[in-house]
Amino acid sequence: MTAFFQNFVGLPYEWAWFVATLVGILVIALPLMLAVAMIIYADRKIWAAMALRRGPNVVGPFGLLQSFADGLKVFLQETIVPAAANRGLFILAPIITFTVALIVWAVVPFQVGVVLADINVGLLYVLAASSLGVYGIILAGWSSNSKYPFFSAIRAAAQMVSYEVAIGFILISIVLWAGTFNLSGIVEAQRGVLGTPINGFFLNPLLFPMAIMFLISSLAETQRAPFDLTEAESELVAGYQTEYSSMSFALYWLGEYANVILMCTLNATLFWGGYLPPIDMPFLFFFPNIVVPGIIWLFAKILFFFFVFSWVKATVPRYRYDQLMRLGWKVFLPVSLFWVFLVSGVLMWTRVGF
Amino acid sequence: MIQAFAFYLFAIVVLLSGAMTISSRNPVHSVLWLILAFFNAAGLMVLVGAEFIAMLLVIVYVGAVAVLFLFVVMMLDIDFAEMRAGFVRYAALGLALAVALVCEIFIGIGAWSAGGIDLARRAAPVDPAIPNIQAIGNLLYTRYLFVFEGAGLVLLVAMIGAIVLTHRERKGVRGQNIARQVARRPEEATRNMRPEVGQGVQL
């Protein structure tokens, strides 16, 4: 795109790069906002179907416009900042959550070569950005100057920091196998795992347990059920969002779902082949000239994982906090640490020899 | 031009947030300014081409260390008046330290421009073709392997030390038996009763 702005619009290189990057950001962020609105609708529909209800069905055809109606409602509400709140941080906190949920998308590859920033530390960038996510919540809890949000913030901080450790180790075993931190490189490394035409690290018996652990950890990292202790309404009112209203509340709402979509994307990209088709066998398809674009496969995988997230939310009861911490520190951490050891041992044996 | 703009932006924000870290009245704000400083320092690292170090700075310091700082500071019961009382007492020491640091910076720059230290021709030349994760890995796991593992051992010893110092066995605590909780079935936990009207249930 930089070349386009350079040659056809006639901008100097630096400005062409600047404009091209800006356009790229908008091309990713605006559809993402739309996707968040629709995915909230999908979440409510799936949840309702599992509870034998109808879900939103009034606003627009099949209730499709429900999220937009909700958005309009919160937009027209008054923003209330509690008198005892720490005003600046109170307003800053939802902005941080929302921004952090968006910035990770810069390194997600949507197709071969279609990625905003193809940096060689892609996965580390993802980890760094997701570790920033905790600040939005911790600041909301503290600056609200209220008991329940504060409890919630403390819970959220402990939970996210604990599961990030496990996620880090899980990602290391992926990186060891793929040999690169670059997300496009990791997707390409999943082409034809173990000599089979199937794409995706999940087929590898050594990495499959990691795929399951990553799915569970990503539930904990996004604070979805069964790990939604930060918003446990029976204990903490609405958790860290208790004092929020209007657009600042909506930003949390959007940020949370953007994070969920992001975690689904990471699951799809890291373990299930990303933009690659599930099976790499051209002769199986009846129309060899029609190639399904990679972005369609990626979206299909994202939607599948989102369905799993909703499914879990609709069916699994909430964990107790000590069980959550036990799972993170006493189960996932040792197992993933051992797995790093195992994977590197196997790789040494097969690729380098003794 | 974008690089220059980014450099001055990051540098100014680092300096400002560093100053705010030591001058803001609320300790929580101090930690937050510190986080901003870390973050912009990571931006500077990216500008000089050390993207690996930049990401590690964000992951380790912003993502873990600063969260723990914030955790501790948020739960402290701080007496602001008492904290500011020590200011005059330590001002001289602080000033002396600041002067020493400034002198060190000037000496460093002087030695650099006098050509005393020729860092560019050291044993670790930076090849722009290989990404700097690989460059660091190549050095860390060959030339500096024992130093690296030694550093790992020191950290391990520190960790074990911290656990030994703080861990204590408490008597009379009813711990949980997780295996028993998991193995519990509904039949053991509930009884079906059909009490007579007006009799109630015998527990």
**Chain A interface includes B176 (CB < 8 A):** yes
pLDDT given at position A287:
62
Q: Are A346 and A207 in contact (CB under 8 A)?
A: no
> Which residue from B182, B15, B57, B19 is spatially nearest to A121, judged by alpha carbons?
B57
Alpha-carbon distance A121 to A179, whole Å? 12
Whether the pLDDT of residue B100 is over 90: the answer is yes
Residues of B in Cβ contact (< 8 Å) with A139: 32
pLDDT given at position B157:
96
Mean pLDDT across the stretch B59-76? Answer: 82
pLDDT given at position A94:
87
Of A121, A154, A326, the CB nearest to B178: A326
Q: Where are the alpha helices (DSSP H) in A56-207?
A: 66-76, 87-103, 122-143, 147-178, 183-188
CATH code of residue B157: 1.20.120.1200
Percent of chain B with pLDDT over 90: 18
Q: Are B133 and A181 a contacting pair at CB < 8 A? A: yes
Q: Are A198 and A278 in contact (CB under 8 A)?
A: yes
Q: Which residues of chain A have pLDDT under 70?
A: 1-10, 281-291, 354
CA distances from residue A169 to A91, A127, A165, A353, B157 in whole angstroms, order as listed: 34, 11, 7, 24, 21
pLDDT in tens, B80-99: 666 666 777 778 888 899 99
pLDDT given at position B96:
92
Q: What are phi and psi of B11, to 5 degrees?
A: -65, -45
Give the burial class of A53: count Cβ atoms within 10 A of its Cβ; 0-12 exposed, 13-18 middle, 19 or more buried. exposed
User: Which H helix or E strand runs over B100?
Assistant: helix B80-114
The whole model's pTM is what? Answer: 0.82
In a domain, B203, yes or no: no
Give the burial class of A47: count Cβ atoms within 10 A of its Cβ; 0-12 exposed, 13-18 middle, 19 or more buried. middle
Cα distance from N-terminal residue to C-terminal residue, chain A:
47
In a domain, B191, yes or no: no
pLDDT given at position B1:
74
Give the burial class of A278: count Cβ atoms within 10 A of its Cβ; 0-12 exposed, 13-18 middle, 19 or more buried. middle
In a domain, B201, yes or no: no
Alpha-carbon distance A186 to A125, whole Å? 14
**Chain A interface includes B52 (CB < 8 A):** yes
The whole-angstrom distance between residue B72's C-alpha and the CA centroid of its chain comes to 13
Residue B55 to chain A, least CA–CA distance (Å): 6
Mean pLDDT across the stretch B98-118? Answer: 82
Residue B142 to chain A, least CA–CA distance (Å): 16
Whether the pLDDT of residue B64 is over 60: the answer is yes
Q: Are A87 and A248 in contact (CB under 8 A)?
A: no
Helix (H, G, I), strand (E, B) or coil at A347: helix
Alpha-carbon distance B51 to A296, whole Å? 32
Whether the pLDDT of residue B125 is over 80: the answer is no
In a domain, B200, yes or no: no
**Chain A interface includes B74 (CB < 8 A):** yes
**Chain A interface includes B65 (CB < 8 A):** no
pLDDT given at position A111:
80
Lookup: tokens for A349? 């044996």
Alpha-carbon distance A272 to A304, whole Å? 11
Query: What is the ipTM for the molecules in this complex?
Result: 0.79
Of A18, A121, A132, the CB nearest to B133: A121
Residues of A in Cβ contact (< 8 Å) with B133: 120-121, 181
Residues 4-43 of chain B with CB under 8 A from chain A are 28, 32, 35, 42
pLDDT given at position A114:
77
Residues of chain A in Cβ contact (below 8 Å) with chain B: 14, 17-18, 89, 119-121, 124-125, 127-128, 131-132, 134-135, 138-139, 142, 150, 154, 157, 161, 164, 181, 322, 326
Residues of A in Cβ contact (< 8 Å) with B2: 14, 17-18
Lookup: tokens for B103? 């002198």
Q: What are phi and psi of A26, to 5 degrees?
A: -65, -40
Residues of B in Cβ contact (< 8 Å) with A18: 2
pLDDT given at position B123:
52
pLDDT given at position B154:
96
Percent of chain B with pLDDT over 70: 87
Give the structural domain span for B157: 2-186
Lookup: tokens for B108? 């460093």
Alpha-carbon distance A270 to A280, whole Å? 17
In a domain, B148, yes or no: yes
**Which pLDDT band holds residue B200 (cuts at 50, 70, 90)?**
confident
Cis peptide, bond prior to residue B131, ω within 30 of zero: no
Residue B12 to chain A, least CA–CA distance (Å): 21
In a domain, B193, yes or no: no
List, in sequence order, every residue forming a beta bridge with A111; answer none if it has no partner: A114
User: How many domains does chain B contain in total?
Assistant: 1
Residues of B in Cβ contact (< 8 Å) with A124: 52, 55-56, 59
Residues of B in Cβ contact (< 8 Å) with A154: 71, 75
> Which residue from A276, A308, A260 is spatially nearest to A38, judged by alpha carbons?
A260
pLDDT given at position A129:
86
Lookup: tokens for A84? 């005892």
pLDDT in tens, A270-307: 888 888 877 776 655 566 666 677 788 888 889 999 99
In a domain, B60, yes or no: yes
Q: Are B133 and A120 a contacting pair at CB < 8 A? A: yes
**Chain A interface includes B67 (CB < 8 A):** yes
pLDDT in tens, B134-156: 888 888 888 888 999 999 999 99
State whether the Cα torsion B68-B74-B76-B79 is positive or negative. positive
